[in-house]
Structure 1
Amino acid sequence: MQTHNHVHENTKRVRAAILTISDTRTLDTDVSGEHICSLLKAEAHTVTYREITKDDPIEIEAAVRRMVDEKMDVILTTGGTGITKRDVTIETIRPLLDREMVGFGELFRHVSFTDDIGPAAMLSRALAGRIGDTIIFSMPGSRGAVDLAMTRLILPELSHIVWEATR
């Protein structure tokens, strides 16, 4: 399979929103959200919003819809992707998607399995897709999972994915 190199599409700087989904984190204790912010800024992307919301479907949906309405290029969520009763991120975000990027979750679990946590990777329900012209990635809440997703999967293709979503 041959890949097409979209060099000019990969240079777009994106407007990003970071949404941490947690009943316990604050901006001071949110190491995963802060790490996402630092990684985006290191790539010269703009972080427009950084918020924390409870593991509550109504609050999560309201925050995501507000960020989409504000024309964010990408929303990066962290937290609430596990299998506990309080993990409702996926059930809340999936119905909002116009298109799901199933490859993200598949690749995230594969890389997590082979390079990081082994069979515990099956507990992850990482998700990505498009809502209108906005891309959304939902990652687990741990800093290690965020680092893996951002550095190995999201950042290398972020500008290209945003370009594809808006053409």
Structure 2
Amino acid sequence: MALNDHRRNAPESVKCMIITVSDTRDRNTDKSGKLIKDFLEEHGHQVSSYLIVKDEREFIENALHKGIENEEVEVIVTNGGTGIAPRDVTIEAVESLIDKEISGFGELFRMLSYTEDIGSAALLSRAVAGVARKTAIFSTPGSSGAVKLAMRRLIIPEITHVAAELKKGH
């Protein structure tokens, strides 16, 4: 089936969960979480849950489990906690729960970051996507620039396609 056929068969709207990983942000100061919400809603998707959790693996995994176990959540988008500092554990938490990695997401994110945004500092960008049961998970760095890039160039263009693929055979 051609790509356009896949996209034609995709749903118009996807139910999403947003998880911001931060020790300092709250609903008033979470600029990146708000950006994700705005991008999703502007493109007709539903945000059914929005959480801010501490940058601790247990809290991140618990939040991810809530989304994975919720039949209404098709896609989870996380931001924050993706750096290389010892405290940054979002990528490890996500990778421990996914059944299949969507390796192209991280690869393309770093390529776009390198060419459009931050140059060689892109090698420090940790971004990952994958599937846990029937739920897609996209994890981006927490900076607003990284979120805009990931949402505009990767997640929004493919979110319905990904959701449609995960419904096959169910």
Q: TM-score range by the shorter chain?
A: over 0.9
Q: How does 1:73-92 map to 2 (within 5 A)?
A: 73-92=74-93
Give the aligned partner of residue 161 of structure 1: 162
Q: How does 1:29-108 map to 2 (within 5 A)?
A: 29-71=29-71, 72-108=73-109
Structure 2, unaligned runs of 5 or more: none
Runs in 1 of length 4+ with deviation above 3 angstroms?
A: none
**What's the offset of the Cα at 1:93?**
1.0
Give the aligned partner of residue 121 of structure 1: 122
The DSSP-based 3-state class of the residue aligned with 2:136 is strand
1:10–1:158 CA contact under 8 A, matched in 2: no
Tell me the distance in 1 between the aligned counterparts of 2:12 and 2:148.
Answer: 21
Q: Deviations over 1:84-143 (max 9, x none)?
A: 111000111101111000000000000000010000001011000000000000000000
Give the aligned partner of residue 25 of structure 2: 25
CA root-mean-square deviation:
1.2
The letter for the 2-side match of 1:70 is N
1:16–1:48 CA contact under 8 A, matched in 2: yes
2:61–2:93 CA contact under 8 A, matched in 1: yes
**What's the offset of the Cα at 1:11?**
4.0
Tell me the distance in 1 between the aligned counterparts of 2:22 and 2:144.
Answer: 14
Paired positions, count: 166
The letter for the 1-side match of 2:77 is L
State, as a whole percentage, how many aligned pairs show the same letter: 48
Return the TM-score normalized by structure 1: 0.96
Tell me the distance in 1 between the aligned counterparts of 2:96 and 2:68.
Answer: 14
The DSSP-based 3-state class of the residue aligned with 1:135 is strand
Return the TM-score normalized by structure 2: 0.94
The letter for the 1-side match of 2:39 is L
The letter for the 2-side match of 1:4 is L
2:101–2:131 CA contact under 8 A, matched in 1: yes
1:90–1:125 CA contact under 8 A, matched in 2: yes
Tell me the distance in 1 between the aligned counterparts of 2:7 and 2:18.
Answer: 26
Give the aligned partner of residue 3 of structure 2: 4
**What's the offset of the Cα at 1:3?**
5.3
The letter for the 2-side match of 1:135 is A
**What's the offset of the Cα at 1:8?**
2.1
2:7–2:160 CA contact under 8 A, matched in 1: no
Tell me the distance in 1 between the aligned counterparts of 2:107 and 2:9.
Answer: 24
1:9–1:159 CA contact under 8 A, matched in 2: no
Give the aligned partner of residue 137 of structure 2: 136
1:32–1:141 CA contact under 8 A, matched in 2: yes
